[in-house]
Amino acid sequence: MFEDVPTEDLPTAVAAVEHAFEQDMGASRIDAITAWDRVIRHAQAMQLAEINGLYEDRNRVIGAFREGDPALHVIGQVSLARNISPGAAGTQFGLAVQLANLPMVAEAFKAGAISEPTARAICRVASALSVDDLVLFDAPGGSQVPEEV
């Protein structure tokens, strides 16, 4: 039902649906559940892009040698901002930085085509590749993985 709707427009499109269980036996609600999952994936991808942006900005403006390790500062800030443990924030930070090196994977995640666990699995595999292989891995058709790994 919502396959052709851009991810950014999904909340409005889903809200406009009038559910009639008697007519579709819940199919419209199943479609809405699937659409909300795309929205969640998009939000997660955008959040990771912001985490990487914070890291890049901090490196650019403050530098690596002025006030300690920039990665640790960003992890601490993410931990406080999201009210999560530093370990969980560090895991998110690592994924954010890895996705910045895999723009096609990041775009698939942002579009809601792959889940966060799938993005993590792809990044885990890609982390073992050389710089030259990484470019090929993220090329169109290079990393064709099933929807859920």
Residues 82-108: pLDDT tens digits?
A: 999 999 999 999 999 999 989 999 999
Structure tokens at 61: 């403006």
Measure Cα distances from 13 to 10, 17, 24, 133, 143 in Å. 5, 7, 18, 40, 31
User: N- to C-terminal Cα distance for the chain?
Assistant: 25
CA pair distance 83, 66, nearest whole angstrom: 26
The encoded tokens of residue 94 equal 């690592």
pLDDT at 109 over 60: yes
Question: What mean pLDDT do residues 7-18 have?
Answer: 85
Range from 13-27, 67-81, 126-140 carrying the lowest mean pLDDT: 126-140
pLDDT of residue 67: 67
What's at 109, amino acid-wise? F
Report residue 48's pLDDT band, with 50, 70 and 90 as the boundaries. very high
Q: Which residues contact 84 (CB under 8 A, 6 or more apart)?
A: 78, 92
Model pLDDT, residue 11: 87
Q: What is the pLDDT of residue 42?
A: 92
pLDDT of residue 65: 62
Phi, psi of 135 (to 5 degrees): -60, -45
The answer, as to whether pTM is greater than 0.75, is yes
> Exposed, middle or buried by CB within 10 Å (0-12, 13-18, 19+), for 116?
middle
Taking the C-alpha atoms of residue 91 and residue 18, their distance in angstroms, rounded to an integer, is 40
